[in-house]
Structure 1
Amino acid sequence: MPVAYASPPAPFTLGAMCFRDRPFPQILAAASSGGFPGIGLTVGQCVSALERGIPLEEIPKRLADAGLTLAEFELVRLGDNGPTRHANGLVEELIETLRPDRVHTAAFTGDLPAAADRFAELCERHPDTLIAVEFMPYSVVRDLPEARRLVAHAGAPNAAIVLDIVHFFRSGSAVDEIDADCLRDVAVVQLSDVSSRPGVDLAREARHLRTYPGRGTLDTVGFLRRVRESTAELPPISVEPVSDALERLPLEVVAEEIVFSTLGVLEQSARS
């Protein structure tokens, strides 16, 4: 079923993992000056803002003053117990305060049936918020077909998928798997890029070694062209070149590079 937004989502987002250890005011300034309509935040970044003297209930006002929408908020870890359940609880408690376009979730423990049940329960608890599951080849939900099974199992209008280009290709998918039916379940397309490095496992690559869209070896233009051909309206785009090296650069520089590289591949994909 088509994903259901309460209001039009931000079309272009500076993803949360672009600034894992940046101060909250710096995040807002870089995103605003870079012309991004929306940003992503993690629960850890919200706690960090609180520790810097910014009350959690003040975050929406700070975002609005900067001309920004909270496009994505993460992460609920499906099925995780122990201390992680407290972080999950805080994410859920903050949904009503922050009013994000969507909440992201993933599963790193348990099995697929259990993850599907937890995902359905999460969608049911927050019927007015889009809940998007992110598949990763090193997680419980390993690929696009498994993510679609979770959405079908939930059977809810707010159940959706994060279509991350790195996880899509690294899970063995090909662009011809993307079609109109698939895209009806997609809440956001996440862009970045990678190049194969011998001996590097997929989790390390995804979490530490990404680069800007179009700068690696993934078929980014072909991927985006297939998305364009399969739907009348391009889904929201989020960009996350998660990189230990890029984190050493000023965030304003990273934001500018994200804008130019992303607009470049989008333009190329629109050409016939």
Structure 2
Amino acid sequence: MSELGIEYQTVLGLPPVEFVHLAADLDCHHISMKVTGGGIYHHPAFSMLDDTALRQQFIAALRDRDVTISLGEGFVVRPAYELRDEAAALDVMAELGVTRVNTVTMDPDLPRSFDQFAIFTEMASDRGMTTTMEFAKSLTVTDLPTALQAVAHVGRPDFALLVDTMHAARSGNGPDDLLMLEPEWVGYIQLSDDTLAQRNPVYRDDSSDRRVPGAGEMPLVEMIAALPPVPVIGVEAPMRSLLAADTPVSECARQAVAGAREVLQAADELRETRARGCHR
């Protein structure tokens, strides 16, 4: 079974040190993290680029609670913006012990986006990190076939896909599509559940109010069983409506982790059943 992590979106802007303690309290020893964040849902904004004291406190909390960062996030290709300008943020990620960073594109120029991915991957590699790229209907790379074009364009073993189960399903990619992926094409998995149909007119607003894994409409067990195994699967389950109903962030995360563990267990059992069937 892959180890379970908690993605930064799940905790809806919680300050970094509090996030580490919450993850460890839930027996999750991997998190995804941004260099800057917060500023939402009554949580203060932070910047580990500028606040060196916070950065050191965060590193100490990671060490003391035996938590690692499984994914560095927040790197976005935008029109007229160069990912070369993210060098300082990558340096901070390296100081935090990050070994994998993720990028997405919101630049409608697809060829330029692909070139930016290649530049960013080289920058990350120079700092000992591998790179993943996420696709979603709300992004320029909307689906799996286009994402695979990006992988082919970059053409490096340290550049692979990040597959978010909700985004993949909503892009029309089911378990049969995921089963066709070669192991080297998938670097990271985010476990997300929701309705198959978008509920909110704005996709990005819709995706900030997901369901507990296993309580939505995504075929999560079959999707995880179809995907190549990865060391860490991060549960990404921001549940804005629960928070608005005065449910503590810690309880939202607890529900997300509990649901995710049941899904991963069921996916492992499905893999084992299929393996036994193949050996008869």
Q: Same fold (TM over 0.5)?
A: yes
In 1, are the aligned partners of 2:199 and 2:206 still within 8 Å (CA)? no
Paired with 1:23 and 1:201, the residues of 2 have a C-alpha distance of 26
Kindly tell me: are residues 154 and 53 of structure 1, through their superposed partners in 2, closer, same or farther at Cα, counting changes over 3 Å?
Answer: closer
TM-score, L = length of structure 1 = 0.84
Paired with 2:264 and 2:219, the residues of 1 have a C-alpha distance of 12
The structural deviation recorded for 1:109 is 1.5
The structural deviation recorded for 1:15 is 0.2
**Structure 2: tracts of 5 or more residues without a match:** 39-44, 274-280
Aligned pair partner of 2:235 in 213, 236, 239: 239
In 1, are the aligned partners of 2:17 and 2:58 still within 8 Å (CA)? no
Please state if 1:14 is matched with 2:17. Answer: no
Counterpart position of 2:278: none
Give aligned-pair identity as a percent. 23
Paired with 2:222 and 2:179, the residues of 1 have a C-alpha distance of 13
Paired with 1:258 and 1:250, the residues of 2 have a C-alpha distance of 13
TM-score, L = length of structure 2 = 0.82
Kindly tell me: are residues 199 and 79 of structure 1, through their superposed partners in 2, closer, same or farther at Cα, counting changes over 3 Å?
Answer: closer
Q: Secondary structure at the match of 2:150?
A: helix
Q: Secondary structure at the match of 1:161?
A: strand
Q: Secondary structure at the match of 1:241?
A: coil
Paired with 2:180 and 2:198, the residues of 1 have a C-alpha distance of 33
The structural deviation recorded for 1:223 is 1.0
My pick for the range that moved more, 43-52 or 115-124, is 43-52
Paired with 1:124 and 1:109, the residues of 2 have a C-alpha distance of 20
Counterpart position of 1:4: none
The structural deviation recorded for 1:235 is 4.7
Paired with 1:175 and 1:23, the residues of 2 have a C-alpha distance of 35
Q: Secondary structure at the match of 2:182?
A: helix
Please state if 1:45 is matched with 2:7. Answer: no
Counterpart position of 2:68: 69
In 2, are the aligned partners of 1:77 and 1:88 still within 8 Å (CA)? no
Counterpart position of 2:119: 121
Deviation per CA, 1:34-64, whole angstroms, max 9, x where unpaired? 0001111112239716588834244323211
**Structure 1: tracts of 5 or more residues without a match:** 1-9
Counterpart position of 1:205: 206
Paired with 2:79 and 2:91, the residues of 1 have a C-alpha distance of 17
Please state if 1:262 is matched with 2:263. Answer: no
Alignment length (residue pairs): 257
In 2, are the aligned partners of 1:14 and 1:36 still within 8 Å (CA)? yes
In 2, are the aligned partners of 1:43 and 1:87 still within 8 Å (CA)? no
Counterpart position of 1:191: 191
